[in-house]
Amino acid sequence: MMDGFLNVDKPQGMTSHDVVDEIRRLVLGERVGHTGTLDPEATGVLPIAIGKATKIIQFLEEGKGYRATMRLGITTDTQDITGKIIAKNEKINVLEKRIKEVLKNFLGKIEQIPPMVSAVKVKGERLYKLARKGKEVERPKREVKIYNLNLLEYKPPDIIFEINCSRGTYIRTLCHDMGKALGCGACLKNLVRTKSGIFTLKESHTLEELKKLPNLKKYLMSMDKALGHLPIVKVKERVRESVLNGMPIEASGIQELSSPIKGKELVRIHNSKESLLAIAKALFDIGDLKRIEKEVVSLKPMRVIG
């Protein structure tokens, strides 16, 4: 059995599902899934979940990092360089100072309209499927958060920038919107995902590298490590079976806390041997176990793993 994550450096030209298929051939019989779609033309970090790790994808640390190249003066129907050009501006007179001002204006919470080539569903149908039929429909805005947005290089007509953002942020749409703000139009030319939660480009592995290994376990990140952002609650061995059956955890079954827990916070449930059993939600603040009535239900399992 293989349970854990592979940090794959996705090559250009492959879909995320193509990468999943390649890994599936290397781990015959195991469940395989990816943690977030990366466009075919984009490269970089694509964490792949194997075995029981497919159960915890939604609990992984959020936050994405990218290095992007934006081409000024070109607007396309897909918001990237591969699309059909719908507007072209030959005269670009944008100063670096103005670029930095615009980048600063996109920091924090912003609203985006998902591009027609995205996998978002509208009335039950994927937008990219509608786009293939030549249809364009109204899309609801969604709120995303930009944590950092820094200019790395400006070589007209290209701008290279790095960004850290929330899950669900469309970098192609960001380029399109920044192009509007700059008054010359723009599209995404190149994209590299440098970070996805705990997974970084520096620690990723190419498919060619993985295919040469006799055993992928060498590069497999454990589920526990991947969930390292969640505090640990160690339970007594007598409640192990009930936890694995998805039963609520009473205060009397808790042996130790790695740190004080806030109400509604997600935690890792370990047994006395420090094996990962489940992910649970705290029902209230838990700081001092001695002050909680033993029969009070304190934790609700959200996903059983062990």
Diameter of the chain measured on Cα atoms: 73
Beta bridge partners of 48: 6, 34
**Residue from 39, 224, 285, 288 carrying the catalytic annotation:** 39
Which CATH code fits 230-304?
2.30.130.10
Any catalytic annotation for residue 9? no
CA-atom Rg of the chain in angstroms:
23
Ordered DSSP codes for 117-152? TS--EETTEEHHHHHHTT-------EEEEEEEEEEE
Beta bridge partners of 205: 8
25 Cβ contact list (under 8 Å, min separation 6) = none
What is the C-alpha separation between 188 and 169, in angstroms, rounded?
14
Closest CA to 236 of 169, 289, 174: 289
- pLDDT per residue as tens digits for the range 7-16: 999 999 999 9
Residue-range domain boundaries for the chain: 4-61+198-225, 64-196, 230-304
Paired tokens of 105: 């204006």
What is the C-alpha separation between 52 and 195, in angstroms, rounded?
23
Q: Domain 4-61+198-225 class?
A: alpha beta
What is the C-alpha separation between 178 and 98, in angstroms, rounded?
11
Q: For the chain, 306 residues long, give each residue's pLDDT as a single digit of tens.
A: 789 999 999 999 999 999 999 999 999 889 999 998 898 899 999 999 999 999 999 999 999 999 999 999 999 999 999 999 999 998 888 999 999 999 999 999 999 987 766 666 665 666 566 556 565 666 678 899 999 999 999 999 999 999 999 998 999 999 999 999 999 999 999 999 999 999 999 999 999 999 999 889 989 999 999 999 999 999 999 999 999 999 999 999 999 999 999 999 999 999 988 899 999 999 999 988 878 888 888 999 999 997
What is the C-alpha separation between 16 and 31, in angstroms, rounded?
15
- pLDDT per residue as tens digits for the range 230-284: 999 999 999 999 999 999 999 999 999 999 999 999 999 999 888 999 999 999 9
Check if 4-61+198-225 and 230-304 are the same fold: no
Q: Domain 64-196 class?
A: alpha beta
